[in-house]
Amino acid sequence: MISKYVFGEPFETEAIVVDIEETKGTLPYFKQEAGAFVLDLAEEDIVYGLGEQVRGINKRGWQYVSWCYDNPHHHEDTRSLYGAHNFVIVSGSTTFGVFFDYPGKLTWDIGYTKRSLMTVTPEKMDLKVYIITGENEKDIVKQFRGVIGKSYLPPLWAFGYGQSRWGYKNEADIREVAQNYEENKIPLDSIYMDIDYMEDYKDFTVNQERFPDFKGLAQELQGKGVHLVPIIDAGVKIADGYDVYEEGVKEGYFCKNADGKDFVGAVWPGKVHFPDFLNPEARAWFGKKYEQLTSQGIDGFWNDMNEPAIFYTEDRLAETLEKVSTLTSGNMGINEYFAFTGMVAGLNGNEGDYDKFYHNVDGRMVNHRDVHNLYGMNMTRSANEALSRIVPDKRTLFFSRASYIGAHRYGGIWQGDNKSWWSHILMSMSQLPGLNMAGFLYTGPDMGGFGCDTTEDLMIRWLQYSLFTPLFRNHSCDGTRMQELYRFSTKAIMGEMIKIRYALIPYLYSEFLKARENDEMMFRPLAFDYDDDDTRQVDDQLLLGGEVMIAPIYKQNAKGRYVYLPEEMMCVRMRGWNDFECATFEKGHHYINADLHEMFFFIRKGCAIPLVKPVMSTKDIDYSTTQLLGYEASYVLYKDDGISLNNDGKLEMYVLE
């Protein structure tokens, strides 16, 4: 059952798509104290959710802040990342779900100040709170997913391997990547283009000197089954003669400052205006601009910098430079030095800058701070709604960096600018259940790590984890070690891991479709399916679909790991898609050996999964090569044509035996 409670005058976020009648009376479970909602936590209570956040699956013990933030430092002490996903399930003495539908800054103190209390504090008491009760955690998620709308469905090719890097600067770089994957017989379905392809970092432009035949390049690669996926940023460069800038100014489609003038921030191009994505007219206008690239053969995009990221504003920069000048005019002591470095670092993403601009919402000017977390969601909505009209016969790949609950209907998200750290494999895995709870099924990390220098063993172990995530992209930062797989001496091992992924795509896509159609989670904590004390403590294993449990290795030099099996399971140890062995293990704790060239996963008792012969591109997947792997059991396969925008009536189900 879902109950809605209304406080003050909430802003309509459109996260909920089902009309739910307001419940009068006192909010259950919580006490209201000094502008906050306070919940008593029993010692055994677990708090699941919050989507994209740091730390483990159980969120107890830390303070989290829902505030979409351009933060490349995903440390344990981080409080905000790129998304705001205000849904949790409290599981234990009493089990229920709660969604705080609030688009401004929301602070979650989950046993941080006092272990026995969860305190949720909005900046303003203008919000809706939804309480969901049900038979168990999975039932609560199913109810919540049923009222926030169906998850976005990407094209099948988006489940293939993608190679990305900030630093592919011209057509030759792109062709080199495609050629090397082909020559090394490593499957590839997409190559991502970061900001280098643009002309002066202007959205929807292509640098003609670096990419003289952009359309021809896209067509050439698609002939090989490889899709080009360019980045689009939120900030529009202020430049005379640039159509997006000039049209936005003329039509009033940019966010305004307090004086009614177009707000000026700065990101990659320098000074920019920000499209007012909360204005439906501006949203439609910006979305139509994607046609400038789809007309050249592009059928996938990733939206970035849409928290929105702000490097600086003119007034804050001037004020900072003045203070810096004073600080550096004499002999800088320790106090002056730290004031100097703090002031410069404080330019980027300064919260005060978000108070300075406004959105036009039905003719009413709304301060950005009050609706900050909706910006990235509505940028992706802009693209999705426009492309569904521009190319109505096929799906376009969309995923975003910033998001709010509701954005899952318009695209996926990637888990942001992580690092080439072992701990970030575990962090990514810990985020998957919370993201699925909030409707985000198409997601995954920057495999191998975006920042810092990766290593061969880290890259292999990351591949062995990521080959299970729907988004399967290797992405790295300019200036770091190049991490295309063919560059490593262990490329043969890495290539085998990619082929295992392609052998598993029919299963992964089938389980994705099931989770989408049935409003369920693709990735779940063990405790959602098994009721014992041990499963409630497991933070580094996940159930995938109805048949699989994953337990990746995420420690340097490890040649195996401990796992807990909540029932008898079959361990599948794979060195290649057709080089594997299976062994059955009883319920309990086990140490599983796995050398660097081996990966393993588990098939649940009485289950089997489909495996096909891998191909170089998803377009060539041949379901006639399917074999079942696991116990003597049948499997219900979901599939569709992988491209039609609306798969209603096109979804096919087969019983494989």
Count of Cβ atoms closer than 10 Å to residue 139 Cβ: 14
Going by C-beta distance under 8 Å and a sequence separation of 6 or more, which residues neighbour residue 65? Answer: 79, 80, 105, 106, 107, 108
Strands 635-639 vs 627-630: parallel, antiparallel or unpaired = unpaired
DSSP class of residue 160? S
Ranges of H-type helices in 447-490: 456-466
Sign (positive or negative) of CA dihedral 113, 115, 117, 123? positive
219: nearest Cα among 138, 126, 298: 298
CB 180, CB 224: distance < 8 Å: no
Active site residue 417: yes
Nearest of 40, 69, 41 to residue 53 by alpha carbon: 69
Tell me, yes or no, if 77 is annotated catalytic: no
The DSSP bridge partners found for residue 504 are none
| Residue 439: closest CA among 42, 47, 63, 87 | 87
CA distance 87 to 508: 25
Tokens of 245: 């800038």
Nearest to 584 by CA among 608, 604, 566: 604
Angle between helices 280-288 and 243-251 (to 10 degrees): 160
Handedness of CA 275, 277, 283, 286 (dihedral sign): positive
307 is catalytic: yes
Q: Which residue has the tokens 């337990």?
A: 551
Report the alpha-carbon distance of residue 97 to residue 88 in Å, rounded: 6
Q: Residue 395: phi, psi to the nearest 5?
A: -80, 145
Which position among 276, 417, 446, 520 bears the catalytic label? 417
Work out the number of other CB atoms within 10 angstroms of the CB of residue 534: 15
Residue 457, SS3 per DSSP: helix
- The count of other CB atoms within 10 Å of the CB of residue 552 is 24
Task: Specify the pairing of strand 446-447 against strand 473-474.
Answer: parallel
Q: What is the token pair recorded at 566?
A: 């909540």
DSSP per residue over 297-365, as a string? T--EEEEESTTT--SB-HHHHHHHHHHHHHHTSS---HHHHHHHHHHHHTTTT-GGGGGSEEEEETTEE
Catalytic residue among 233, 307, 484, 547: 307
Torsion of CA 520, 525, 530, 531, to 10 degrees: -110
CA 446 to CA 419: how far, in whole Å? 8
Length, in residues, of the chain: 657
DSSP H or E run through 46 = strand 46-49
Answer yes or no: are the C-beta atoms of 253 and 279 closer than 8 Å: yes
**DSSP 3-state of 153:** coil
Residues 6+ apart with CB under 8 A from 54: 62, 64, 74, 75, 76, 78, 81, 427
**In the β-sheet with 364-367, what is the strand arrangement from edge to edge?**
256-257, 357-361, 364-367
Point out the catalytic residue in the list 45, 52, 233, 304.
304
Residues labelled catalytic? 304, 307, 417
